[in-house]
A and B are shown apart, each in its own frame.
Chain A
Amino acid sequence: GESVGLHLPTLSVQEGDNSIINCAYSNSASDYFIWYKQESGKGPQFIIDIRSNMDKRQGQRVTVLLNKTVKHLSLQIAATQPGDSAVYFCAERFSGSARQLTFGSGTQLTVLP
């Protein structure tokens, strides 16, 4: 029979455009969130994090927005480059769960030349 796997959401953007990747998290008690980037054949790599007492945090070319009301997290990448092509995961940490992170299923970003 046909195998069924995770159907990763995909996002294709033109080089130089801005990208927005969205994530719905599951637990209203989560107090810490992280975005990871995973390139083919590599482990996930930390991009940016945000605590629940903030609603926006900026890094180099990346911005994370947190909307606790609707349990939504987004990652904005400015001036997207070919090297940004990867799978992007959001992760949440439940308050009181010590160091455990729970990862979302990921979004595949493809940058078109």
Chain B
Amino acid sequence: DAGVIQSPRHEVTEMGQEVTLRCKPISGHNSLFWYRQTMMRGLELLIYFNNNVPIDDSGMPEDRFSAKMPNASFSTLKIQPSEPRDSAVYFCASSSTGGVGGYTFGSGTRLTVV
């Protein structure tokens, strides 16, 4: 099992540019979560999907952020336009029904917006 796979590992972009982060959850997991981690606010849940359907996006900071899950094996988090305050590590995690055993996290994407 390759675990949760995120790409890219690092992204440096200029303010105003569009950024797309990608995630492949563990096969068979039906819940997928996007988290953002910063020194200021720690780990924040942005959005989560169950069976490819967005369930709670109340953590998405503003309309510049959007997330999709077109199928069970792929999700994207898009920021358009990006701003310096979006700089953070973005984690994707997946879990199976009930979440027993917790989430399995990917290695994260470190985003720097200059």
Residue numbers of A with Cβ under 8 A of B are 3-6, 32, 34, 36, 41-46, 49, 89, 91, 93, 98-106
Partner of B99, one of A6, A99, A105: A99
Among the listed B39, B48, B102, B108, which residue makes an inter-chain contact with A46, where contact means beta carbons less than 8 Å apart? B102
Contact A34 B91 (CB under 8 A): no
Beyond A100-B56, A103-B42, 19 additional contacts (C-beta under 8 Å) are A5-B40, A6-B40, A32-B99, A41-B107, A42-B108, A43-B105, A43-B107, A44-B43, A44-B103, A46-B102, A49-B102, A89-B43, A91-B102, A98-B99, A100-B45, A100-B48, A101-B45, A103-B43, A105-B42
- The listed residue with most A CB atoms (<10 A of its CB), out of B39, B40, B42, B106, is B42
- Name the interface size band of chain B: 20 to 34
Contact B102 A34 (CB under 8 A): yes
* Chain B residues closer than 8 Å to A36, beta-carbon distance: 102
> B104 near A: Cβ within 8 Å?
yes
- Residue interface bits B65-103, CB-to-A below 8 A is 1, else 0: 000000000000000000000000001010100111111
